[in-house]
């Protein structure tokens, strides 16, 4: 084998190895998106992706469904949210879900969406946690706001369900059941989802 043929063989092997590596770990495609960033007037800290199970990092996956592209499907037991794409694919995000007694399932629509939303705790939550009464009029937007960087507000029959798809500064809660019923995503992921979804999009939340 001459030097040119040998070099081409090495290059081919390297390319094949690279492709193989990408296919084995599709989460690598978006890892750079989890770095620190400026978003409007707020500075989002980096998310330590090495501390997160890679199955909860954003990735493009095969996903067969009869639902139309643009539909959001939340698989609560699996702790994943799927945004349906054309061609049997979906963007998959890791989520945190409602703890026992606060879980919700069913169909809804994205009524409206907000960037850096104000958080207003419901009266029932204030009843359970009186210290939240100071935010009865709304907690200002910010990196520590429980709704995070973005929120999608779910409606049914034109009425607010009081359930949200929203960001969270608590990246360690992704993959767990510890919210008050809403579906939470890492801030960098909700920013991505918010940009891809339009009001009126169908949302399906499955508990089984």
Determine whether 46 is exposed, middle or buried from the number of CB atoms within 10 Å of its CB (0-12, 13-18, 19+). Answer: exposed
> Is 182 an annotated catalytic residue?
yes
Among residues 71, 97, 70, 104, the alpha carbon closest in space to that of 166 is found at 97
Q: Please give the Cα distance from 6 to 15 (Å, whole number).
A: 14
Active-site residue identified among 19, 80, 166, 194: 166
Neighbours of 163 (CB within 10 A): 21
Question: Any idea of the CA torsion for 93, 91, 196, 46, to the nearest 10 degrees?
Answer: 40
> Exactly one of 19, 80, 182, 194 is catalytic; which is it?
182
Among this protein's residues, is 166 annotated catalytic? yes
Contacts of 54 (CB under 8 A, 6+ apart): 25, 27
Active-site residues, by number, are 166, 182
């Amino acid at each position: 084998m001459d030097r040119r043929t040998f070099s081409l063989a090495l290059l081919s092997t390297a390319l094949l190895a690279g492709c193989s590596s990408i296919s084995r770990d599709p989460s690598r495609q978006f890892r750079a998106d989890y770095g620190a960033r400026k978003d409007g007037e707020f500075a989002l800290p980096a998310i330590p992706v090495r501390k997160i199970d890679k199955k909860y990092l954003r990735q493009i996956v095969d996903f067969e469904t009869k639902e139309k592209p643009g539909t959001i499907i939340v698989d609560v037991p699996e702790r994943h949210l799927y945004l349906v794409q054309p061609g049997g694919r979906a963007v998959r995000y890791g989520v945190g879900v409602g703890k026992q007694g606060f879980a919700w399932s069913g169909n809804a629509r994205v009524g409206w969406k907000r960037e850096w939303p104000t958080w207003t705790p419901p009266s029932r939550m204030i009843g359970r946690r009186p210290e939240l009464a100071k935010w009865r009029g709304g907690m200002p937007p910010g990196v520590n706001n429980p709704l995070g960087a973005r929120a999608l507000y779910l409606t049914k029959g034109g009425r607010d369900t009081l359930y949200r798809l929203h960001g969270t500064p608590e990246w360690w809660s992704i993959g767990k059941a510890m919210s008050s019923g809403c579906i939470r995503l890492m801030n960098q992921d909700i920013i991505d989802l918010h940009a891809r979804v339009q009001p009126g999009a169908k949302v399906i939340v499955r508990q089984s």
